[in-house]
Amino acid sequence: MTESTIKPPKKNLGPVKWMRTHLFSSWYNTLLTLVVGYLLVTSVGPLVNWVFLDATFEGSGPGDCVGEGACWLFVNQRLNFFIYGFYPDELQWRVDIMFALLALAFVPQFIEGFPGRKWLGIFGMTGLPIIGYVLIPGGILGLEEVESSKWGGLMLTLILAYIGILASLPIGVLLAIGRRSDMPVIRGLCVVFIEVWRAVPLITVLFMASVMLPLFLPEGVNFEKLVRALIGITLWQSAYMAEVIRGGLQAIPRGQYEAAGALGLGYWRKMGLVILPQALKLVIPGIVNTFIALFKDTTLVLIIGLFDILGAVQSTIADPAWQNVAIEGYVFVAFCFWVFCFGISRYSQNLERKLDTGHKT
């Protein structure tokens, strides 16, 4: 730094100055600060007491929960059910492998400069679902079969959300491109698909998938309920995704299409190499928004009798052996969802920063 460089003026030095400008700048702000401060003091203390200090973490059964605080013993003891559902104990290592692989693929995405993280991410989107498809249901390669009706808990939630997210993105891209196509038949089909699926509540889609679909299928052809739910979720989600992506496509100036065309790139290369990379980057916030919404919407499978994490917790709360543990159960579910959704959100912000090439045309 040269001597002639003038530094910006330093204001707000020290905590007192900071408090004066941020907390007590007028009588009105002073009042607000005092009221909020009072509320914090009176609520945080009891909350910390309930969650940690007075809480029961360990013990052998419902009878050990005698304190004033939360009964985490309940979550602790039924954790296995919350995570794996009815998946047989001795085969849970297969699910554990999937959890480990999922972490291996996506945790490095948060660590700047982790070796090979791009490849791990690609593995997470290609290899991981294939391994999961073999490992979790079993029935091949000498693995004992586990029917999908036994899957449940967090594992089921992740399967539903992961496959729904992974499959709906490419379908959504195709629908969005199709809707902007010059060919009337393709455009028409895409418009009808999007408008029909988007106008239907997910609950209806799930009901249709579980109750109505078997009626239309010929005798003897039957998918498992989980597969039907997955197909329903994916198609429903891809209609939403298509509209988000279409927004991005519309933001790309015509000059980009023309420049790509003038360079001799054909339609699909023009789309794949020039238009989509820019359009998808523009709508990352919208895509992530849709993903997070889907992640939480997977809890609706409860109504067609699949036990995702919320279903698993809810059915346990009804267990007469445990009393007054509903709050603990729901807090646990909320916490699990928050961890994953916050993770998705952070990852997307990471991605946006990385892809920012500092210009808008």
Partner 1 sequence: MTQHSESTETQAEKKPGIIRVEGMHKWYGDFHVLKDLNLAVDQGERIVICGPSGSGKSTFIRCINRLEEHQQGKIIVDDVELTDDVRHIDRVRREVGMVFQHFNLFPHLTVLENCCLSPIWVRKLPRREAEAAAMEYLERVKIPDQATKFPGQLSGGQQQRVAIARALCMKPKIMLFDEPTSALDPEMIKEVLDVMIELAGSGMTMICVTHEMGFAKTVADRVIFMDAGEIVEEAPPKEFFSNPREPRTQKFLQQILQH
Give me the residues that bind partner 1 (CB under 8 A), please: 253, 255-256, 258-266, 269, 273-274, 277-278, 281, 355, 357-361
Q: Which of 54, 52, 50, 57 is nearest to 72 (CA)?
A: 57
Q: How far does Cα 287 stand from its chain's mean position? A: 11
Closest to partner 1 by CB, 15 or 358: 358
Least distance CB 276 / partner 1 (angstroms): 10
- The helix or strand, by DSSP H or E, that contains position 190, with its residue range, turns out to be helix 184-198
CB 307 within 8 A of CB 152: yes
Closest to partner 1 by CB, 144 or 258: 258
Any bridge partners for residue 308, and if so which? Answer: 153
**Contacts of the segment 188-196: beta carbons below 8 A, 24+ positions apart:** 190/242, 193/239, 194/239, 194/242, 194/243, 196/239
Q: Which of 158, 190, 199, 106 is nearest to 299 (CA)?
A: 158
Residue 295's alpha-carbon distances to 97, 240, 352, in angstroms, are 21, 14, 21
Least distance CB 261 / partner 1 (angstroms): 6
Exposure on the CB side of residue 227, measured as CA atoms within 13 A: 10
Least distance CB 358 / partner 1 (angstroms): 5
CB 249 within 8 A of CB 176: yes
CB 212 within 8 A of CB 232: no
Exposed e or buried b for every residue in 83-93, given b needs 16+ CB within 10 A? bbbebeeebbe
Closest to partner 1 by CB, 130 or 262: 262
